Structure 1
Amino acid sequence: MIHFVLLISRQGKVRLTKWYSPYTQKERTKLSGLVLTRGPKLCNFVEWRGLKVVYKRYASLYFCMCIDQDDNELEILEIIHHFVEILDRHFGSVCELDLIFNFHKAYYILDELLIAGELQESSKKTVARLIAAQDSLVEAVKEEQSSISTIIVQATM
């Protein structure tokens, strides 16, 4: 089981977090230092409080997931890579600014991928189709709202 997903910039700024198990705020803030202080030549697994933190750095972001001690670390690295590929496909070479300004889409993508700390969907095509459907639904609502506001403005003139 995945206990949390954490995306951290190299400067230690948290860009995305999803907690599937309860942790105190003090524990949450210590986690970023755990990964950021490690050297680049060290392995991508860190033991933390009887759990394992698996992380991978892509450009200026660290993608971290915490798992049980007996879970497969390589599978989690694959899930991280799968998440990055989906983000890349959606944003076109995802960067930190994409996550800052479109955090709601990043959370939506993560929720399509993982539910309650378990992998829900492994197909990139299915996730891309679901994201496209969500985007078209949002656009339809925006168009409907703008047409309603236009009607209201015309009625009040």
Structure 2
Amino acid sequence: MIKFFLMVNKQGQTRLSRYYEHIEIHKRTMLEAEVIKNCLSRSKDQCSFIEYKDFKLVYRQYAALFVVVGINETENEMAVYELIHNFVEVLDKYFSRVIMFNLDRVHIILDEMVLNGCIVETNPNRILAPLFVLDKVAEG
């Protein structure tokens, strides 16, 4: 099961966070700081899977952005690694420019892909269908 999903820049600032189990706000801040420190300190030659406390971290770097997913021991690391890539490809397909101004849309995309910590959809067309409907409604 997926515990959390983070997007972080190289400066260590969290740009997106989604938690699939309850963690208190002050503990989230500490957790994010530790997770970011662990991922940013690794070289590109090192593996993208990290054993961390009672769970695993799976991350990928895209330019100046890191996508980090915390999973329990039963989740398949490679499946989550590919989920991250699929997520980024869907973002690239939908957005033609900077995504940080459209965080509501990024959350919709993530919600279409992951529900209650479980991967439920990977087909980009199905993931983007609700957004295309919202776009048509917004146009008039």
Percent identity between matched residues is 31
Supply the distance in 1 between the matched residues of 2:59 and 2:17 (Cα, whole angstroms): 14
Counterpart in the other structure of 1:86: 90
Corresponding letter in the other structure for 2:78: L
Q: Note the residue ranges of structure 1 that are not aligned, 5 or more in a row.
A: 141-157
Give the TM-score, by structure 2 length: 0.90
Q: Does the residue aligned with 1:39 lie in a helix, a strand or coil? A: coil
Q: Indicate the structure with greater helix content.
A: 1
Q: Deviations over 1:46-73 (max 9, x none)?
A: 1111211000011111111111123211
Supply the distance in 1 between the matched residues of 2:117 and 2:99 (Cα, whole angstroms): 21
Matches within 5 A, 1:3-22: 3-22=3-22
Give the TM-score, by structure 1 length: 0.81
Counterpart in the other structure of 1:58: 62
Counterpart in the other structure of 1:39: 43
Q: Which has the higher contact order (CA 8 A, sep 6+)?
A: 2
Counterpart in the other structure of 2:119: 119
Aligned CA RMSD, in angstroms, stands at: 1.4
- Count how many residue pairs are aligned between Structure 1 and Structure 2: 136
Matches within 5 A, 1:110-149: 110-140=110-140
Q: Note the residue ranges of structure 2 that are not aligned, 5 or more in a row.
A: none
**Larger Rg: 1 or 2?**
1
Corresponding letter in the other structure for 1:84: V
Q: Does the residue aligned with 1:43 lie in a helix, a strand or coil? A: coil
Counterpart in the other structure of 1:151: none
Q: Does the residue aligned with 2:100 lie in a helix, a strand or coil? A: helix
Q: Does the residue aligned with 1:12 lie in a helix, a strand or coil? A: coil
Moved over 6 A (4+): none
